[in-house]
Structure 1
């Protein structure tokens, strides 16, 4: 399997290409395929770079097959009113296969076909895929969803975890742990049977997130596991490398240089922010307006810990079905303990004068006020909040996060893409399912209807389905490190799921 990253393979050539911004998007070079052995290309660069008139851009063009930003939507629709028909036509255009690893190619080999998000995202992504799978199942493409689940199980078996995406340069980090939800989706009639079938994979993923827990002293952390000063065992996002992200090398170098902080710490926190899927948001920063103050590893995120409680509950159910009562009891206790921590440590009774809400926890400074974000609805999504907490969260959504076109990601206007005024498909889905689960069906349907109507209006105006939307106005979302992409896997999936009435199916 190809595991060496582009930076390791190409050394000074890699740094030169990324720092010179040969491509507007740093992901272009790390996704390029070499036309010769990487060692040979590197040797040629070492010689030719000193020649008169040497052109770095020409050298790259001569020695690499560059990725094209394929138009996943194909030609503009002839009948743009039929958005569901358009989405059904998109699924096969977003399917990829890559069964054999090639030397120097950052793309990891996978045994089955898979659906990519679209645009610059040309590989299998972790948490994106769950929301894509919602639409695949609803649209009669369960076969593709099954293939994707098999690929994720293969990644766990191969690497001990599911990487951020199926690229060598993503092998130092994961993403929000949705594997158990994928299993549940594809075993909806009997989730416990699905959890039993995939029990080794579920336990391996949990072990990845909890690595180092057995020897953790209070007020210490190891990788993704941490223990608070009074002994609570929680989790954070992390990355095993403390160098600039290879796909955003120049941006990360510049951020670190502007920070006045140790560069390795800034890079680790940027990478950890990428593991969160929220790359980037003022949520992770000491000063929300300044990305250079990012401190992701100082925070125990409410959504991550809720998902891990869900994973622990899934393992308990699967072990019980498999007849392993000791494991079932141990993980039932883990899930109950983490749920209790969520309901206490992550709950702000008077968060900034806004009333009660869930929030991230600064694990070394519990008094640190953290902003209200859409992540606060993940405990509701997984059924881990108390009814009064759910009621308070519904009031907070109506007061602070409800936009004209759906749910705001945060109330922070920072210019980052995971902040206002953007709204994202996975957050619309988790919020509506969580609110409906606790009886706030009217609000849940209102969010879903607002978001779907905006997706429809932007589609009619542009012929595009986008990764993110402005939930204040009918237009594409913006901000962040790259242009808004179209395709787009999780938007397609969530739109289809909403249209097929899955919200109503979860309401009391």
Structure 2
């Protein structure tokens, strides 16, 4: 049945009746009658009933409006679409496009209106260009003639002192441009969404998992090509392409990305180029002694930088700074000015901000697991990721390059992986508890903080069959909640109070990258039944919230209450929209598509009728 509707008229009637709280959405919190009558082309009445179907109608009307239609045919199958089917279709057909950006004329025009630029002292968008990229420099210089853009060439050596000197002149960092028949175009990339309107490090890997599932291979390849550009021109895969991230990298997933793309594309020349760059990143970013490589052979995060991270909102560090300010009888604002200018020297605070930046480099910003000591920790997940680099290099060289790639042999990478595995067993594995824990190289002791990251070793195929069995038996019961795996268990997080507020990567919150890695890890070791339950719980939570809240797919969830209503720092990106979300959230979208690709048909059927996981498992 087809309904030919006057878009503006129907929208007004629908919202006037059903959007009782005036937020331009239809959710379970609205108090309307939950029944709305429309007429078909043949003048038959059709009643749209319930929050979910009414919000579907709202979304379909807005899609038609956004496509320039005043009158449009709305198919009944989209209004009555099964929930999981609809969420997946919206991700594939709408959200990825809504999250795709470029660093060319078209993309720069959009970036000028980014919320991060609203508070800039300059009315121009600053574009920082690497010292060696003359093509990009000339391209953006030309854009200055037609757009409010200021192009700035970075020095040949980008030091922490230089980055500090431009903290009050923040801007975007250029990414790869490629020649086309129409001239230079920006190589596209996917952003997380909302206020995160730039290319982020580990987000990009997980987004690419979803892109590959949805057949968007060229876009996934473009993400890897931008990674390659960052390594070649900025020396690392950046936290994100903003000027204040120049001294920070992110969790390493580059080898996984290129391997998974190659499995689909079979482009060996592309693989060869990226494998060379990935090895370069491994050696120059991660394996330099005294920096991110520690004496025990394991790795840590270590973000360089001086002073307060400039991207934080005003007041974020007030509780830390106040005791120092009080001691000098200064206001916090005056203390910040004097500390930032160098008039006040405070080695204790300097060390605090090294750890703080390092937390941000780890991607887990923030968590009590790593607060105040992150630069001293061999983190479980980081060493699992680097073990996977080493085994990926081994297997790619063995299978695709006959055991020899430039000066590297399979034996070399096998030895690297075996050495790391032995060190992990010594320093990170706890036999009595059957769990992996972070290791502090300063205190020379294991942490006791139980986090979702303990399961990263399954994803990397790092543990033995015996370790895997113990790990699953011990970790899953501590971390499993109604909506999936929590960032940590409640006991590890400890009590929360005004003086010790909740941290967003801790209990009760759950995050897409943790779920995706854990699912893959469980499949690696044959624990498919456990994986099916965890996948179902996560997708159920997302689907139920999308049904109840107008298709909302945000950044994070409270997995204990199985809700997107998260009470933690920074709010919840992806909830602030009108009528219809155009983006969802990057790695949340990917987790949904990845989970559906793994879930058995029986559970997909249960998901479409929103059967409570506690009734199934």
Q: Please state which band the TM-score falls in when normalised by the shorter chain.
A: 0.7 to 0.9
Matches within 5 A, 1:81-480: 81=83, 82-88=86-92, 89-99=94-104, 101=127, 102-103=149-150, 106-111=171-176, 112-188=187-263, 196-210=272-286, 212-213=288-289, 222-227=290-295, 232-248=296-312, 250-251=314-315, 253-257=317-321, 262-285=348-371, 294-320=372-398, 321-322=400-401, 323-324=404-405, 326-328=407-409, 329-350=411-432, 355-411=433-489, 412=493, 414=496, 415-462=502-549, 463-476=551-564, 478-480=566-568
**Deviation of 1:256 (Å):** 3.5
Taking the aligned partners of 1:123 and 1:335, their CA distance within structure 2 comes to 33
Residue 246 of structure 1: SS of its match in structure 2?
coil
Deviation at 1:318, TM superposition (A): 4.2
Query: Which structure has the larger Rg?
Result: 2
Task: Identify if the C-alpha distance between structure 1 residues 465 and 340 changes in structure 2 by more than 3 Å, giving closer, same or farther.
Answer: same
Give the Cα–Cα distance (whole angstroms) in 1 for the partners of residues 320 and 506 of structure 2: 21
Q: Is the 8 A contact 1:422 1:469 kept in 2?
A: yes
**What is the CA deviation profile of residues 226-254 of structure 1, one whole-angstrom value per residue up to 9, with x for unaligned ones?**
11xxxx21111111113211111644542
**Deviation of 1:333 (Å):** 1.0
Aligned Cα root-mean-square deviation (Å): 2.5
Residues 356 and 169 of structure 1: CA distance in aligned 2, closer, same or farther (over 3 Å): same
Conservation of the 8 A alpha-carbon contact between 1:164 and 1:174: yes
Q: Secondary structure at the match of 2:357?
A: helix
Distance 1:325 1:503 in 2: 43
**CA-to-partner distance for each residue in 1:86-114, whole Å, 9 max, x for gaps?**
21211111111113734266111222011
Q: In structure 1, the residue corresponding to 2:298 is in which secondary structure? A: strand
Q: CA deviation at 1:365?
A: 2.8
Partners of 2:300 and 2:377 within 8 A in 1: yes
Asked whether the equivalents of residues 557 and 564 of structure 2 are also in contact (C-alpha less than 8 Å), the reply is: yes
Give yes or no for contact 1:409–1:420 (8 Å, CA) kept in 2: yes
Alignment match, 1:219: none
Question: Structure 1 residue 472: deviation in Å?
Answer: 1.1
CA pair 181-426 structure 1, distance change in 2 beyond 3 A: same
What is the CA deviation profile of residues 426-468 of structure 1, one whole-angstrom value per residue up to 9, with x for unaligned ones?
Answer: 1011111112211211111100000000000011111211111
> Using the alignment, how far apart are the partners of 1:466 and 1:270 within structure 2?
25
Q: Is the 8 A contact 2:452 2:488 kept in 1?
A: yes
Which runs of structure 1 show a deviation greater than 6 angstroms over 4 or more consecutive aligned residues? none
Contact in 2 for aligned 1:161/1:204 (Cα 8 Å) = no
Q: Map Cα deviations across residues 95-149 of structure 1 (whole Å, 9 max, x no partner).
A: 1111373426611122201111101100001101111111111112112111111
Structure 1 77/373 Cα, relative in aligned 2: closer, same or farther at 3 Å? farther
Partner of 2:294, secondary structure, is strand
CA contact (8 A) 2:535 2:599 kept: no
CA contact (8 A) 1:99 1:110 kept: no
Inter-partner Cα distance in structure 2 for 1:85 and 1:324: 41
Q: How many residues align?
A: 407
Instruction: Give yes or no for contact 1:156–1:201 (8 Å, CA) kept in 2.
Output: yes
Aligned-partner SS, 1:303 = helix
Contact 1:195 1:318 in 2 (8 A): no
The 8 Å contact of residues 243 and 264 in structure 1, kept in 2 or not, is answered as yes
Q: 1:481 aligns with which of 569, 583, 591?
A: 569
Cα distance in 2 for partners of 1:469, 1:337 equals 37
* Structure 1 stretch displaced more, 471-480 or 119-128: 471-480
CA drift at 1:200:
2.0
| Post-superposition CA distance 1:304-332 (Å, at most 9, x none) | 01111111222334445443375223222
Q: TM-score, normalised by structure 1?
A: 0.75
Map Cα deviations across residues 35-80 of structure 1 (whole Å, 9 max, x no partner).
xxxxxxxxxxxxxxxxxxxxxxxxxxxxxxxxxxxxxx9x846648
- Name the SS for the 1:464 alignment partner: coil
SS state at 1:283 partner: coil
Q: Is the 8 A contact 1:302 1:358 kept in 2?
A: yes
Asked if structure 2 preserves the Cα contact closer than 8 Å seen for 1:343 and 1:386, the reply is no
User: 1:364 aligns to what SS in structure 2?
Assistant: coil
The 3-state SS of whatever aligns with 1:201 is helix
Does residue 1:498 correspond to 2:595, yes or no? Answer: yes
Q: Is the alpha carbon distance of 1:459 and 1:442 closer, same or farther for their aligned partners in structure 2, counting shifts above 3 Å?
A: same
Report which stretch shifted further, 323-332 or 425-434: 323-332
Shift, 1:485, TM fit: 0.5
Give me the whole-angstrom Cα distance separating, in 1, the residues matched to 2:90 and 2:556.
18
1:157/1:144 CA distance change after superposition, 3 Å: same
Distance 1:325 1:86, change over 3 A: closer
- Name 1:29's counterpart in structure 2: none
CA–CA separation in structure 2 for the residues paired with 1:259 and 1:191 = 58
Does structure 2 retain, via aligned residues, the 8 Å contact 1:436–1:444? yes
Q: Say which SS state the counterpart of residue 429 (structure 1) adopts.
A: helix
Counterparts of 2:230 and 2:590, CA distance in 1: 23
Change over 3 Å in CA distance of 1:389–1:477 after alignment to 2: farther
Q: Structure 1's 152 and 259: CA in aligned 2 closer, same or farther, altered over 3 A? A: farther
